[in-house]
Amino acid sequence: MQRKLLSAVVAVLALTGCQSTATNEAAPERSETQPTYAEFIRDSKPPAGPLHEVREGVIDPTQAIIYAAQSAPNSYAGTFGMQVRNIGGDSRRIYLNSELNYREQLNMSVRMDIGVAQYLRRQYGNDWLNEIVGKHIEVEGEVQREVIWFNCNGERTQSYYYQTQIHVSRPEQFKVL
């Protein structure tokens, strides 16, 4: 019985590619031009795009997310700035996002009522929503952490995530730089 078990273990190890090495074998030498893993991590660029550059006194998305989390369930008032990287929306509102993925933890969304978006279309032009991607904006208002629930087959599930949002209900709150 033990012999069959030992044979099975050896067969599994052989199939998975596991190998044992002798203790007297020398480790392969590392080339001087090949960086170590720590050097690779140190010298690599961050996965996200450039940080949002805002003028002095304006709160960037990272700071806004921190302030919203600290003041939750209340909001935090201020002037917030970001580069618009993505847009979305439905029949009632438009969302301007600071990250490509609106579910990203570092995303700040500007939630704009459709009436405000229509007013801004008269001010910035008919195609302003398509042209705003890549531009910097500033919004005066209150940032708040919102719970976003996942739905499946029209029913709410137990899964959710937090999204940091600024609600724009008046055109005076919004400015394209």
Enumerate the H helices of 44-167 as residue ranges. Answer: 61-71, 114-124, 128-131
Tell me, yes or no, whether 121 lies in a domain.
Answer: yes
Task: Look up the domain containing 128 and give its range.
Answer: 61-176
Tell me, yes or no, whether 47 lies in a domain.
Answer: no
d(CA 63, CA 52): 11
d(CA 128, CA 105): 27
pLDDT one-digit tens code per residue, 125-171: 888 888 888 889 999 999 999 998 888 888 888 988 889 999 999 99
- Global confidence as pTM: 0.68
Tell me, yes or no, whether 2 lies in a domain.
Answer: no
Amino acid (1-letter code) at residue 52 = H
What's the domain count of the chain? 1
Tell me, yes or no, whether 123 lies in a domain.
Answer: yes
Tell me, yes or no, whether 99 lies in a domain.
Answer: yes
pLDDT one-digit tens code per residue, 41-82: 555 544 444 566 777 889 999 899 999 999 989 999 999 999
- CATH for 126: 2.40.50.140
Tell me, yes or no, whether 9 lies in a domain.
Answer: no
Tell me, yes or no, whether 112 lies in a domain.
Answer: yes
d(CA 103, CA 162): 8
